[in-house]
Amino acid sequence: MRSEPVSVAPVAVDPKAVDATSKAASTDPTSNEPSTAPESLPAPDAPKSPAADSVSPPSNTLTTPEKSSKTETSTPEKKTVDFVEVKGAMENMLNELPSLIKDTEQSEMWGVELTADINHVPTTIVLEKFLRANNKNVAEAIVQLKKALKWRKEMNPRKLLTDVEFDTSRFGDLGYVTVYSQPEGKVKEIVTWNIYGAVKDKKATFGDVEEFIKWRAALMELSVQELDLKSATEKIPEDGVDPYRMVQVHDYLNVSFLRMDPSVKAASKKTIETFSMAYPELLKEKFFVNVPLVMGWVFAGMKLFLSAETVKKFHPLSYGSNLAAELPDFGQDLPVAYGGKGKDIKEGLTVRYAPADADVKATED
């Protein structure tokens, strides 16, 4: 990853330790060089873990005269004294934010207008997610944030959600978002449903990777919109649990696992790369339901190669009806097909689709 400069706090100098005629020393900036992927498709690839490098500030030295024990006219000896005050990761991110916004010409992230104000809770939530996705490595978090801002500038996923009507024959019934209210004081639970068993034509759905990414980004933006980070009033606790995350369910009922279609594989790879970069740390848990027993063994074997944090988020279930038991806080509100007593997912939210007759006419033209 290309290195980018990271700001370091100014040197703190004790005036009593320096001769009155000495000049204050100056500092030099240092440079150094996502996280569990929030999205995957059939037979998901194991996500890459972020680099664990840390940013090490440089030592700043200044010299002070030392009194001689021999005579008053003796030549003073030089002594080095270190005074370095390193700003926290969040402060460093905020310092870099104005230049990132200027370079990318993009200030919006997940509905939040970013501002270099540590008291602006929504901004700190966004920045904290990018920091956590990079193990608090400020330099790498800045690089990823810059890429994500550029992507949003080019893709404009919010417009995909509000203005674009997708092809029903290709994407209809494949994705829904359900919001489950929680007791006062708790953040509402948001579940994104990906119903891959509803795919009618793999080539039509996954063949145009860029179009699939646009549809999937619109669905993700719908989930993020419901998360409503711009209205958040409490910061993510330092080194504590992030309450601003969502659940994803991938339903593989009637999906064949015997052969991975090339178009599905290409779409899966591109989606993982894009969403791990553009939507870090928005996933709380991901459930793969109606997975054949033989695939359950595969997921169990994957645990040997995945980090503990990743294993905590991925849950393969052979039967969809077992899902409610895995989500005790709101499991009873899930649809009957998933072990609850609630409404069908089709009564939830989804993206905009062109009327069926418009799809037919477009095909004929």
Task: Provide mean pLDDT across the span 322-337.
Answer: 96
Q: Is-above-0.75 flag for pTM?
A: no
pLDDT on residue 306: 57
pLDDT average, residue stretch 30-59: 39
Across 181-186, average pLDDT: 80
Under 8 Å between Cβ of 96 and 123: no
- Phi-psi map region of 23: left, alpha, beta (phi>0 left; psi -120 to 50 alpha): beta
**Is residue 308's pLDDT more than 50?**
yes
Split at pLDDT 50, 70, 90, the class of 293 is confident
The answer, yes or no, to whether residue 41 has pLDDT greater than 90, is no
Q: What is the pLDDT of residue 10?
A: 39
pLDDT for 164? 97
Q: What is the pLDDT of residue 87?
A: 61
User: What pLDDT does residue 102 have?
Assistant: 98
pLDDT at position 260 is 72
CB 351 within 8 A of CB 199: no
Percent of the chain residues topping a pLDDT of 70: 68
User: Could you report the per-residue pLDDT of 51-101, keeping only the tens digit for each?
Assistant: 333 333 333 333 344 444 444 444 444 433 332 334 699 999 999 999 999
Examine the pLDDT at 130 and tell me if it is beyond 70: yes
| 32-41, 96-105, 138-147, 245-254: least confident range | 32-41
**pLDDT for residue 205 is more than 80:** yes
Residue ranges of domains in the chain, CATH in brackets: 89-155 (no CATH), 157-354 (3.40.525.10)
| Mean pLDDT of all residues belonging to the chain | 78
Task: Quick: pLDDT tens for 19-33.
Answer: 433 333 333 333 333
Query: Over the stretch 159-180, which tens digit does the pLDDT of each residue have?
Result: 999 999 999 999 999 999 999 9
pLDDT of residue 74: 47
